[in-house]
């Protein structure tokens, strides 16, 4: 199905009503980076005739409120949920506000999962992050290692709150037989990202910085040494994998959605790829007074490959080029 909704009431007549819709899929955080990517993939032909997609945002309900969460579910009556809504931010925002990240995300996640349970939702797929893994660990990390030790101190609030989704999923499965699971993407980027330099993630922040440096003719200043390494996944690739998880993946145990270990790149290499895509000819300067955060968090996608050995990821430089092109075309709104 190519039609898709954004939080409004379903039509009384028309294609949705006439087709045999058996899945009403509510996407929380539907206007964010991953939600927009899922919406595009569905609209571009990956949706199915028996699926109705409903994308909602914080404008539709405050998910920290149990009453507003229940009202949202009563209004849309979902059979399936993709839970993306969260308080998120980059390294420096996390360092400043660990308590806020913990409290806000705990409230959101508990309200969504418990309301889904009480409403009889058939399946929930929540979104975690590789930052939830222990700081002191062996590499590559895999799905069995989530709870093996404390996360990095820079974002412990967000990390522990996200870990609790896995705990709740197990509880709802064991106590109530619910099919609640979670995915763990590596660093996601793409169109509709948060390109805020202060509070965004590293790659969209660098894209914005390169744009400004090119405009002013100045050097590009990259925070940190440029040595930390990350696996980046393009949001449209992640969206396609989300559809597969929703439809086909039946384990309660989470699954890492990531490019392979061989596709890990350094922050320096990422900055150079962005500079090339933006045709920036200036100097790259590394501000080593800024924190690097975690040096690496290499994740194994072996479990994903067992299920989908032939899945083709968009090459990193191609995905960077497409993201930069989108940012350039949408600068007025993207920069905010």
Name the residue with tokens 């996640």. Answer: 109
- Options 3.40.50.300, 3.30.70.20, 3.40.50.720, 3.40.50.2000; CATH for 23-192+232-262+296-314 is 3.40.50.720
Per the model's pLDDT, the better-predicted residue between 11 and 221 turns out to be 221
Please answer whether residues 215 and 278 qualify as being in contact, where contact means their C-beta atoms are separated by less than 8 angstroms.
no
Strand 23-28 versus strand 80-83 pairing type: parallel
The pLDDT of residue 14: 38
CA atoms of 183 and 166, how far apart (whole Å) = 10
Beta-bridge partner residues of 9: none
Residue 213 pLDDT class (50, 70, 90 cuts): very high
Per the model's pLDDT, the better-predicted residue between 13 and 74 turns out to be 74
Beta-bridge partner residues of 169: none
pLDDT digits (tens, 9 = 90+) for 97-121: 899 999 999 999 999 999 999 999 9
Q: For residue 11, is pLDDT > 50?
A: no
C-alpha separations of 166 from 110, 160, 195, 247, 290 in Å: 11, 10, 29, 19, 32
The pLDDT of residue 293: 75
Mean pLDDT of 314-318: 97
CA atoms of 135 and 294, how far apart (whole Å) = 8
- Alpha-carbon torsion (279, 224, 92, 186), positive or negative: positive
Average pLDDT, the chain: 91
Does the annotation mark 211 as catalytic?
no
Mean pLDDT of 147-160: 93
Q: What share of the chain is helix, strand, coil (3-state, %, to 5)?
A: 45, 15, 40
**What phi and psi values does residue 36 have, to the nearest 5 degrees?**
-65, -35
The pLDDT of residue 19: 56
Task: Report the share of the chain in percent with pLDDT over 70.
Answer: 94
pLDDT digits (tens, 9 = 90+) for 154-204: 889 999 999 999 999 999 999 999 999 999 999 999 999 989 887 778 899
Task: Report the share of the chain in percent with pLDDT over 90.
Answer: 81
Residue 336 pLDDT class (50, 70, 90 cuts): low
Q: Where are the domains of the chain?
A: 23-192+232-262+296-314
Catalytic residue among 158, 172, 211, 234: 158
Q: For residue 10, is pLDDT > 80?
A: no
Strand 220-223 versus strand 187-189 pairing type: unpaired
């Amino acid at each position: 199905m190519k039609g898709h909704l954004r939080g409004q009431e379903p039509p009384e007549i028309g294609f949705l009503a006439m087709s045999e819709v058996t899945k009403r899929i509510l996407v929380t955080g539907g206007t964010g980076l991953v939600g927009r990517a899922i919406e595009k993939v569905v609209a571009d032909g990956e949706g199915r005739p028996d699926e109705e997609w409903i994308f909602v945002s914080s404008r539709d309900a405050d998910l920290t409120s149990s009453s507003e969460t229940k009202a949202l579910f009563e209004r849309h009556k979902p059979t399936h949920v993709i839970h993306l809504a969260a308080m998120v931010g980059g390294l420096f925002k996390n360092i400043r506000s660990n308590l806020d990240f913990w409290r806000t995300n705990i409230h959101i996640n508990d309200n969504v999962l418990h309301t889904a349970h009480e409403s009889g939702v058939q399946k929930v797929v929540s979104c975690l992050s590789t930052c939830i893994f222990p700081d002191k660990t062996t590499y590559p990390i895999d799905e069995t290692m989530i709870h093996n030790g404390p996360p990095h101190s820079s974002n412990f609030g967000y990390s522990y709150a996200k870990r609790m989704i896995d705990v709740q999923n197990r509880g709802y499965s064991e106590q109530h037989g619910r099919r609640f699971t979670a995915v763990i993407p590596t660093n996601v980027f793409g169109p509709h990202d948060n390109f805020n330099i202060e509070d965004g993630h590293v790659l969209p922040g660098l894209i914005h910085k390169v744009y400004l440096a090119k405009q002013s003719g100045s050097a590009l200043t990259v925070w940190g040494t440029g040595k930390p390494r990350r696996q980046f996944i393009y949001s449209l690739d992640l969206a396609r994998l989300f559809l597969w998880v929703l439809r086909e993946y039946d384990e309660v145990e989470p699954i890492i959605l990531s490019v392979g270990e061989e596709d890990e790149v350094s922050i320096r290499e990422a900055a150079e790829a962005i500079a090339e895509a933006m045709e920036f000819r200036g100097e790259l300067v590394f501000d080593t007074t800024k924190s690097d955060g975690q040096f690496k968090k290499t994740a194994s996608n072996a479990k994903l490959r067992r299920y989908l050995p032939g899945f083709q990821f968009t090459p990193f430089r191609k995905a960077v080029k497409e993201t930069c092109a989108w940012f350039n075309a949408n600068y007025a709104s993207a920069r905010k």
